[in-house]
Amino acid sequence: MHSDVVDLRDFYATSLGQVAVRMIRRRIRLIWPDLAGMRLLGMGYAVPYLRPFREEAERVVAVMPSLQGVLPWPPDGANLVALADESELPFDDSSMDRVLLIHGLESSEEVRALLKEAWRVLTGAGRILIVVPNRRGIWARLDRTPFGSGRPYTMSQLSQLLRDEQFTPVGSDAALFIPPAKGRMIMRSAPAWERIGKRWFPTFAGVLMVEATKQIYAKPAATRAPRRRLVYTPAAHGL
């Protein structure tokens, strides 16, 4: 079950949420150091992680699942977020160079349909980066953060799921070694926790990250079901 969009927004407004953004976003940036001229789609609740790419990428947009709800983003410009069914994204085939999926896969009731849509909208050379709670990490065991809801994964489970849906994993990483505590001392030492955890305790990261490319196989035209086209209403400002 998806977290409510207001709960997600409120978590990322806290000090702990801001620390989580910095630690995860640092790893995303290492995986994707340059998105100049690319089209980036955020799925799930990815907006806290998209801001650094707005001035770099050709286009940055986001979709939030209907069962989660939607809030406008960014706060300082035209809205770039739409509410959409996970199995029917409002984008053309091969229209995105990168897809960032976070707070989505672990809560989805249509995991395979979601990944099929991500596959569809990616270009032939496109890449998807999925961030999920780590089944072995402490963050997945506590429900006071969004990383404690939904279905956590192991690295092998996530990699196999991607292979099953015609993706090829090409890299992996992990983040959030800091305990999900609100103490100032712990949060100030977050970079040290990340360095130590990455080196000595990689199994216990709070989140796992897998980057994958799409496999391209020709399918007989007769096996492709006709696609329905839906109309989506952009999120209203002032919510």
- Joined together, the tokens standing for residue 188 give 């100030």
Q: Residue 180 and residue 139: Cα distance in Å, rounded?
A: 6
CB of 50 closer than 8 Å to CB of 100: yes
What does the pLDDT average to over 199-223? 82
pLDDT band (50, 70, 90) for residue 204: very high
Q: Which H or E element spans position 120?
A: helix 111-121
User: Is the full-model pTM beyond 0.85?
Assistant: yes
pLDDT band (50, 70, 90) for residue 237: low
Q: Is the pLDDT of residue 230 over 90?
A: no
pLDDT band (50, 70, 90) for residue 222: very low
pLDDT band (50, 70, 90) for residue 188: confident
Tokens 């050379």 sit on residue: 125
